[in-house]
Structure 1
Amino acid sequence: MLLLAAAALAACNATKHLPSGAYLLTKNQVKIEKEPELPKEDQITKLELDKYIRQQPNKRFLGTNLPIWIYSQADTAKNNGWNRFKRRLGAAPVLLDSAQTALSAGGMKIYMDSKGFLDSEVIPTVDTADRKAQVTYHARQGEPFRIGTIRYDFRDRFVKAIILSDTANTLLHTGNIFDANVLDNERARITNFLKNQGYYNFSINNISYVADSTVGGRRIDLTVLVKQYMAGYDTNGEAVLDNNRIYRIRDINVFPDYNPTVATTDSLYKTRLDTVRYRGLNIIYDTKQHVRSEILRRTISLYPNALYSAQDVKRTYDNIMRLGYYKSASILFTEVADSTQKDNFISFVGTDSTGSDEADYTAEHYLSCEVLCTPALRQSYSVNLEGTTSADYFGVMAKVGYQNRNLLRGVELFEVNVRGGYEFMYAGSKYKSDAYEFGVSTSFSFPRLLTPFRVNRYNHALNPRTRIDLSYNTQKRPYYHRDLASAVWGYSWGKGRSTFALRPIDLTLVNMRYVQDSFLKNLVNPYLQNSYTSQLIAGLSGSYLYTNQQKNANRGSIALRFNFETNGNLLNALYRIGFPNKEKDEYYTLLGIRYAQYFRTDLSFVKNFWLGQKSALVYRFFGGFGYAYGNSAALPFERLFYCGGSNSMRGWAARTLGPGIDGRIASDYPSQLGNMRLEMNLEARFPVWGFLHGAVFCDVGNIWFAGQGTTPENQFQLRNFYKRVGLNTGIGARLDFNFFIFRLDWGIQLHDPNVNPGERWVIRNFSLKHTALSFGVGYPF
């Protein structure tokens, strides 16, 4: 401790070893003069201008300048291993550079000009004291310039009718702020539109603007100039211009097992290639075809003699990557040589904007397409580990998986997972204080809809998959022992950011081998007592997922997941028709086992706010509800909700919070369950040092019985539910190794609703028994 304190004191004097006349940069800040007349959405923020600051202060370690101090301990006259290690471990001091400060201010000015604030200004000021410097950038936006009239100048008149037909989607409008980003986006929009109409070589460089700011009144008149294609140079060195060309696809060559290393280094590679022609595709393979032709045809959205479309190319790429078999794909186009030697003209005859007759032409050429698909490892393994520990509880869960991505040459995904868990309670009885769980599951996933009727149209358009799951799980607790077996047949499909799933066959058999009588009596709640029975769960389930995380990797992102399931309704209807005279307290069975009848749904919403390049604030809301009816008096045990653990309320071990404000029952293995759950989580993530990242989090939530329960204490009541929630905070560490993240969280309870009134703010009497330590792989949400 004394050594740490001495190092911290030494680190505080970070300016001791600075060169004469130098200042250590300790802080940057941006101050923007308020423009009350500007709408909020038009005001430039500090975060936007921060990106243009070229010099950033040194990162601090635990509030000290320890990295600078470690760096300064290296002997500049020696370049041995020990001194190099100190330089790598530490960080060179960032010294104030007035030239960099001026460039930063200039960058901010250029940015504000590009946003239409041409009268903006940025003035930097520097405050120095004790050889430390703080830089403040004073920014003023001023009034913006706005777009006046908009006109078009078509040097390539053939594209005139095409572009003008899509002006309803233009981003340019009279009266909008003259924003250079919007102008560039409009160029990109027109370019993308034309690329979907066969204009393969058209680029944003074919579009430019003429801006006239002399009209006054802070208005700028725009002319959108659409240029011709430069076909080459004449004998005098002058550029030869012609209308932009339209392209069609001629040959489509698919390499489904392309290995770029072998293709470039193996001299015999081309001699081993063979070709299969299938419905417009030339499938070229090395020695043996590993993916069936019909799978490739269904995946590739390109066809011979079709107009080139960038949208079809992107759809093809997305389809290939969604198969889950390929790690990369490239789609390359080259102009067919003989199509450049002769022009195939297409013409447009019509009227121009003035009503006069006009006729235009352009050349039509052909492209050869190569689809290069590089498979990932056909077979792989995975390991997942998570656990939670508190003052009187320890639990660990591990899962080992095997995957085969192309089992039957149809890009089928075959998975086998083996899962095992162990839990131990320190308190309570000396006997029966541990528990275990073991399970095995397998699944087959096919890249198409497997149905009794033909659905080829949807197989091509919606990137569907059929998934079959089989699993078996056995759980042995001190007070009960049960087995679960399940079989699921489901479909998933999606387009863009949305994915849907429907499981029309969802069967689970719950066999309670043993339940201790005294355990059932101590439950008191008959709802929970009914959940510990053998049951057959038969019904359907589904889910919806929306996410934009990949497209907004460096910006804010959201993820929305909705799940539902309903069970027993069809069976119950058939039984009521066949056996209408059932006694009031009787229930129906199938093969001697009572079947469950209920519905259950849950919703998860995650929002990610990026605060910097590696810092983020992440928020999650979770809500779930289930209700039993008809042939069931309670939801099955495994369909009830619980709180706590490494991915939920991290101040509690799993299944130890709730329901409501029910007093916690003294038990070696508490299983606090309910048919309703509400939870909110907030987590700040930030870099600490290298691959070490930190987190500060807060969790609030609980479980209840809603509509079904026995006591007011465990019932959900809208008027006072907020008084009956658990609240915890905590800190965490994340070791980011790029290919996986190891997570360690220490949760600290603040408010525990399940202790005596007056003692629920447990933070007032802090104790380790009111904390929980959890670990896992990946982020909690």
Structure 2
Amino acid sequence: MNRIFKTSLIIVLLIAYGCSNTKHLPEGDMLYLGGKVTVEDTLLSKKERKELEDQMEELLRPKPNRKILGMRIKLAVYNLAGKPKKDHGFKYWLRNKVGEPPVLFSQVDLDYNADILQNYSENMGYFRTRTQSDSTSHNKKATALYTVKPGKQWKIRNVTFPGDSVKTQLDSAISKTKRRTLLRPGRPYDLNMIKDERERIDQRLKNKGYFYFNPDYLLVRVDSTVGNYQVDMKLIVKDETPKKAKEVYKINDIIVYPNFSIGQDSITYSADSIQKYKDFTIIDPENTFRPIIYDRTLFFHKGDIYNRRDHNLSLNRLINLGTFKFVKNEFKPADSISNLLDAYYYFTPLPKKSIRVELTGKTNSANYNGTEVNVNWSNRNTFRAAELLSISAFGGLEVQVAGQNKGYNVYRIGSEASLTWPRFITPIHIADSSAFVPRTRALLSYEYQNRAKLYSLNSFKAQFGYLWKDNIYTEQQLNVVDINYVSPANVTKEYDSISNNNISLQRVIEKQLIFGPTYSYTYTNTIRKYKKNTFYYKGSLDLSGTITGLVTGADAKKGDTITVLNVPFSQFVKTEQDFRHYLRLSRNSKLASRIIVGVGVPYGNSVEIPYMRQFFIGGTNSIRAFRARSIGPGTFRPETDENDFLPDQSGDLKLELNTEYRSKLYSIIEGAVFVDAGNIWLWNKNDKKPGAEFSSKFLSQLAVGTGVGLRFDLSFIILRTDLAFPIRKPWLPEGSRWVFDSIDFGDRTWRKENLVFNLAIGYPF
């Protein structure tokens, strides 16, 4: 204890020394603690004043030394390191890379900052703002003080557009954009809004052929003399606007160079290398690509009015092909007389063939962690129309770090071949006008999985389907053909002995044949990181054996089971809905929530959903306070010895709810507090699993857990650790399922039975 006390005292003294951040300041100077803005205005609400103060404080320069948990640790490190004698070494690194020099009050220009606040206020419509600056100091520390008296905010009374009186062709085009104007009567005057309005009109004009127009040719005249804190606005086209900016341009020739090198100064080609295809002139001496890809990706045709939307869509689709390393485009006047543009496209292809070796870390909901090696060979232009042929082989190992299945490692090897066409391959033509190229994909794969000491599984998969995106937020996938065949091998005596009286374990090694269409729809706007509310939704539908079951009249309940290749095919309907909401609370914190609802209904040739398509719950990405796949179904609790292999529990229905508060603690470290709840159930009563069937009491059967965690953002990977414990156990008798009163962190037995440590990669949701 004495040694611990001395060590703690030394650490405290070091921190205290480092936190004496004024000790090494230049003579006569002070440490700058930052600026504080006070808005004095009785017309603004308390909330509006606080928002305005926060916005203005962000404008102040320089920024003070950063604080971490209320302490200027970086500055303390800078002072502790002292002045190094060399421009390298640990001391130099500690002072200049880890540490941060003091921000001095002498660096602060009070008048300059006051002018910045004055200009900001006026740009927001507070035309009669008064600003004052001052400072306060204590113990060689200084704070800048700014007082802003904005007065009443001026608002828009009337807005006049070009074309409201005298109408030229350009004036008329601008006038037609008025319906969605940002400048509306009653709104506050805002200089940024005026700039946004000019950009908006420019974008609309670009879509109507005004190729040479730009926002600087628009002027908004503001009349603030109309009284009553109001302004009139008049939007005009500047007199000095050049003639070509006022004219509509059309597309003339479209010239494509599919083998352009970024470094070349000029392009030379012979006349016999020129190929004409529809409206395109293609310069491709090596005949690298079939012209069909240009017709499907370029939206322009000869005679079309120039349109910025088609311009951007074409570039996006070309990049989205995944065949070109660089894509360049330019428009040139066809001649000096007509309003025609020649469109030039320059493409630099990626290497046609490539090989890639990947070593990845993996984690899954069954609390297994491991690694995988993947070798992939690709051909990006298989049939000269940007088709992607990919052949891969992989091998991996997964182990359970903590859990009852520790020691039962999973070994996987397999291969996969896929061919992707950058278009819809269908009997009928399907028009597509999004920025993303639709794809048709055919896939074949085989995987051999060996679960040490237990069994092996051979798994075959075949798919043919379509993938497409309407925009950056949505994605859809339809597999017209989706076949899975699973066959067991090398079942050990140990597994036979523990599965004899356990139907869950028996189902794992059953032969399974699943075929039918599958569909999924995904929407997410989480890429908009600074939006307060963002969402993620994925819905899926799986229809297995539907047509075959109807044609054959299969009815497993009556004993009329139909087999294909001596295996009863599965017939069921399954859907899963995954909805997530992210609430941004501040710059460094958010609240993430998720709800998953899954339903699977067997019928016809099946009395239950095949094991590989059933629902599971619990584990690192699910309800983290319970062992992986150990919850349910319903109130059922399997009885197993401490050293026995723990079977995965599966169900036909699933309900899961999660919420997690995430906050950045320091640099790469983020903390989390979470609550998870959920369960799975069976459709039909099972005498070997009492309490497993779904009923009206399902809410009272939810398992609930809570815990805390840390996330380490290493830029290339996010390492996650969670420590959780249950607060509601569904298998206990009704009225006794909440277990708050039994929580005892000091009890070793309780910790062993209830504390669950999760180590995973990435966020749980």
TM-score for both structures, normalised by structure 1: 0.81
Q: Is the 8 A contact 2:669 2:710 kept in 1?
A: no
Deviations, residues 673-722 of structure 1 (Å, cap 9, x unaligned): 33314132435364844xx4534353523332164565447857677459
Partner of residue 594, structure 1: 568
* 1:765 maps to which of 736, 739, 745: 745
Listed as ranges, the matches of 1:697-736 within 5 Å are 697-705=673-681, 707-708=683-684, 710-712=689-691, 715=694, 720-721=699-700, 724-736=703-715
AA paired with 2:465? G
Whole-angstrom CA distance in 1 between matches of 2:362 and 2:13: 37
Whole-angstrom CA distance in 2 between matches of 1:164 and 1:763: 70
AA paired with 2:282? I
Partner of residue 10, structure 1: 17
Give the match's secondary structure for 1:181. helix
Whole-angstrom CA distance in 1 between matches of 2:539 and 2:763: 20
Partner of residue 684, structure 1: 662
Give the match's secondary structure for 2:205. helix
* 1:443 maps to which of 415, 418, 426: 418
Q: How many angstroms does 1:733 deviate by?
A: 0.6
Partner of residue 578, structure 2: 604
* 2:250 maps to which of 248, 251, 255: 248
Give the match's secondary structure for 1:330. strand
Partner of residue 113, structure 1: 122
* RMSD, matched Cα: 3.9
Matched, 1:629 2:602: yes
Q: How many angstroms does 1:585 deviate by?
A: 4.3
Whole-angstrom CA distance in 2 between matches of 1:673 and 1:49: 56
Partner of residue 175, structure 1: 186
* 1:457 maps to which of 409, 419, 431: 431
AA paired with 2:225? T
Q: How many angstroms does 1:216 deviate by?
A: 1.2
Q: How many angstroms does 1:279 deviate by?
A: 1.7
Give the match's secondary structure for 1:315. helix
Q: How many residues align structurally?
A: 726
Matched, 1:53 2:60: yes
Give the match's secondary structure for 2:18. helix
AA paired with 2:258? P
Whole-angstrom CA distance in 2 between matches of 1:16 and 1:668: 63
Give the match's secondary structure for 1:400. strand
* Residues 182/76 of structure 1: CA separation in 2 closer, same or farther (3 Å cut): same
Give the match's secondary structure for 1:260. coil
Q: How many angstroms does 1:471 deviate by?
A: 1.9
Deviations, residues 428-469 of structure 1 (Å, cap 9, x unaligned): 699x74333333333221101112x24163488973210112
Q: Is the 8 A contact 1:403 1:413 kept in 2?
A: no
Listed as ranges, the matches of 1:292-371 within 5 Å are 292-336=290-334, 339-340=335-336, 342=337, 344=338, 365-371=339-345
Q: Is the 8 A contact 1:660 1:753 kept in 2?
A: no
Q: Is the 8 A contact 2:61 2:108 kept in 1?
A: no
Whole-angstrom CA distance in 2 between matches of 1:128 and 1:433: 66
Sequence identity (%): 22
Partner of residue 282, structure 2: 283
Q: Is the 8 A contact 2:18 2:79 kept in 1?
A: no
TM-score for both structures, normalised by structure 2: 0.83
Q: Is the 8 A contact 1:446 1:467 kept in 2?
A: yes
* Residues 196/770 of structure 1: CA separation in 2 closer, same or farther (3 Å cut): same
AA paired with 1:676? K
AA paired with 2:188? I
Whole-angstrom CA distance in 1 between matches of 2:302 and 2:129: 54
Whole-angstrom CA distance in 2 between matches of 1:42 and 1:5: 40
Whole-angstrom CA distance in 2 between matches of 1:745 and 1:571: 45
Whole-angstrom CA distance in 1 between matches of 2:362 and 2:251: 55
| Long gaps (5+) in structure 1 | 232-240, 345-364
Whole-angstrom CA distance in 2 between matches of 1:555 and 1:487: 40
Partner of residue 234, structure 1: none
Whole-angstrom CA distance in 1 between matches of 2:403 and 2:526: 44
- After alignment, is 436-445 or 650-659 more displaced? 650-659
Q: Is the 8 A contact 1:156 1:244 kept in 2?
A: no
Whole-angstrom CA distance in 2 between matches of 1:42 and 1:161: 42
Q: How many angstroms does 1:321 deviate by?
A: 1.9
Partner of residue 3, structure 2: none
Q: How many angstroms does 1:329 deviate by?
A: 2.3
Give the match's secondary structure for 2:717. strand
Q: How many angstroms does 1:538 deviate by?
A: 1.4
Q: Is the 8 A contact 2:577 2:598 kept in 1?
A: no
Give the match's secondary structure for 1:765. coil
AA paired with 1:701? A
Whole-angstrom CA distance in 2 between matches of 1:748 and 1:290: 56
Matched, 1:485 2:465: no
Partner of residue 352, structure 1: none
Listed as ranges, the matches of 1:117-266 within 5 Å are 117-119=126-128, 126=135, 128-134=137-143, 142-153=151-162, 157-227=168-238, 230-231=241-242, 244-261=246-263, 263-264=264-265
Matched, 1:538 2:512: no
Give the match's secondary structure for 1:316. helix
AA paired with 2:540? N
* 1:412 maps to which of 387, 397, 404: 387
Matched, 1:746 2:721: yes
Q: How many angstroms does 1:315 deviate by?
A: 0.9
Deviations, residues 116-169 of structure 1 (Å, cap 9, x unaligned): 344556666655443334556666665432211222345872223323334322
Q: Is the 8 A contact 1:124 1:137 kept in 2?
A: yes
Q: How many angstroms does 1:653 deviate by?
A: 5.8
Give the match's secondary structure for 2:431. helix
Q: Is the 8 A contact 1:562 1:604 kept in 2?
A: yes
Q: Is the 8 A contact 1:386 1:775 kept in 2?
A: no
Give the match's secondary structure for 1:746. strand
AA paired with 2:260? Y
Give the match's secondary structure for 2:282. strand
More strand by share: 1
Partner of residue 4, structure 2: none
Partner of residue 89, structure 1: 98
Deviations, residues 558-580 of structure 1 (Å, cap 9, x unaligned): 4433222222221211111xx68
* Residues 595/106 of structure 1: CA separation in 2 closer, same or farther (3 Å cut): farther
* Residues 51/302 of structure 1: CA separation in 2 closer, same or farther (3 Å cut): farther
Partner of residue 483, structure 2: 507
AA paired with 1:215? V
Q: Is the 8 A contact 2:720 2:763 kept in 1?
A: no
Q: How many angstroms does 1:751 deviate by?
A: 2.5
Whole-angstrom CA distance in 2 between matches of 1:407 and 1:460: 24
Q: How many angstroms does 1:222 deviate by?
A: 1.2
Give the match's secondary structure for 2:437. coil
Deviations, residues 478-515 of structure 1 (Å, cap 9, x unaligned): 54433221111111222223222211111111224448
* Residues 6/276 of structure 1: CA separation in 2 closer, same or farther (3 Å cut): farther
AA paired with 1:107? I
Q: Is the 8 A contact 1:598 1:626 kept in 2?
A: no
Q: Is the 8 A contact 1:704 1:714 kept in 2?
A: no
AA paired with 1:201? Y
AA paired with 2:481? I
Whole-angstrom CA distance in 2 between matches of 1:4 and 1:182: 53
Partner of residue 374, structure 1: 348
Q: Is the 8 A contact 1:253 1:284 kept in 2?
A: yes
